[in-house]
Amino acid sequence: MQLNHYIDHTLLAAHATTLEIKKLCREAIEHKFYAVCVNSSRVKNAKEILEGSKVQLAVTIGFPLGASSTASKTKEAETAIAHGADEIDMVMNIGFLKDGKSDLVQAEIEKIKMAIGDKILKVIIETCYLSEDEIRFASNLVMRAGADFVKTSTGFGSRGASLKDVKIMKEMVGDQVKIKASGGIRDAETARKYIKLGVARIGTSSGIKIVS
């Protein structure tokens, strides 16, 4: 099990500087991580360093609350792709989900997936705010909407991923949609536990520590 191939090397802090983003990308190339994950304002900074490497560029959309309009999320995604993003990590509108507006939530995911074409779409359902039944429902909704991944967390909620959350998500989506666990994964032992549950990708700012 080569842990580096599962890692999205992540820096999403509001105070992250250009130099820190470029350092993140150089680290990802050095350690052969699968991807880096940055905020959408940092696409060009990251692409400049990653150009010509095998490291994928994942970009967050509607981050971290997911409560912005569908129009703004869609435009943000389109702009990110135009500037070189390979993958989009969007935040689901959790409030709409809890309002019972599942049709609007699904339509938003479908619209963004359509806007980015064959690029990878991950949908963050922010499990810390959901009941077990809501995690099942949200995971199923992401699958129905045609996204490529369902993702646990932003890392900015009340907690990050949990093994229990991932078990519930895996039971719901099986092999039809991949799972990304993110938030609070800081060591190799924990990373391996998630991978054994069927996680395809791990979002972490502790990637170097994990592989070392």
Burial of 162: CB neighbours in 10 Å, binned 0-12, 13-18, 19+: middle
| 8 catalytic residue (yes or no) | no
And the tokens for 110?
Answer: 């479908």
Distance CA 200, CA 116 (A): 21
CB atoms within 10 A of CB 89: 31
| 73 catalytic residue (yes or no) | no
| 209 catalytic residue (yes or no) | no
Catalytic residue from among 8, 89, 148, 165: 89
Angle between helices 163-173 and 188-196 (to 10 degrees): 20
Catalytic residue from among 73, 119, 122, 180: 180
Which alpha helices (DSSP H) does 15-146 contain, by range?
A: 18-31, 43-50, 70-82, 94-99, 102-116, 132-144
> Nearest 5°: phi and psi at 134?
-70, -35
Catalytic residue from among 8, 73, 151, 165: 151
Catalytic residues: 89, 151, 180
